[in-house]
A and B are shown apart, each in its own frame.
Chain A
């Protein structure tokens, strides 16, 4: 079983739609959780951290359920520029530095 699992998609949604991505992780000792965004042939970029209390950044809302080992990302009023691959990322701290484990990503295409 993969350490971080995501629905690969693709999700094709019209502009203005709301779309939700889900992710599960297997290591219950995982410390921190993130959503990254990766554009084609580019490096991943941090979109937002995910906290147990849930957090929101503009049109983006992230949720974490530690009991179910489940993470979600909700995008409201989607824009064409939101088209990208969204990576669920889990941190397992090893020694003195973070070690990130990446999901395989969920591809989103926002259509005009």
Chain B
């Protein structure tokens, strides 16, 4: 299957700082990338959908000014958590899809805000 990487795999930051998470499709061109968040013992919740070269579409309740998504190329999308707070601590997972519509997931990034 296709490979998606995420960087960093885990990060600890102080409250009020910003954190950028990268999602890369390594062996395919991801026309669409999805960003999910998963809190402990809960399901993956879709945060936003981004198509290469256009603005992301955010799910209801997700602040677009807090979670900045950039999908400038077919192999890279970034999620920036701005002014992070402890309640933003979570497992962030991206996935990419090409014209086959199969979603390929990255290994996730565990964010802890202290």
Interface positions of A (Cβ within 8 A of B): 4, 8, 41-46, 87, 94, 96-105
- Chain B contact residues: helix, strand, loop or mixed: strand
A97 contacts which of B91, B101, B106, B107 (Cβ < 8 Å)? B101
Q: In the assembled complex, which residues on chain A have CB atoms less than 8 Å from the CB atom of B106?
A: 43
Residues of B within 8 A of A (CB): 31-32, 34, 41-46, 49, 51, 91, 93, 97, 101-103, 105-108, 110
Distance between Cα atoms of A104 and B45 in the complex (Å):
9
- Asked if A104 and B42 sit within 8 Å, CB to CB, the answer is yes
**18 A-B pairs whose Cβ atoms sit less than 8 Å apart in the complex:** A41-B91, A42-B107, A43-B93, A43-B107, A43-B108, A44-B44, A46-B102, A87-B43, A96-B32, A97-B49, A97-B101, A99-B34, A99-B49, A101-B46, A102-B43, A102-B45, A104-B41, A104-B43
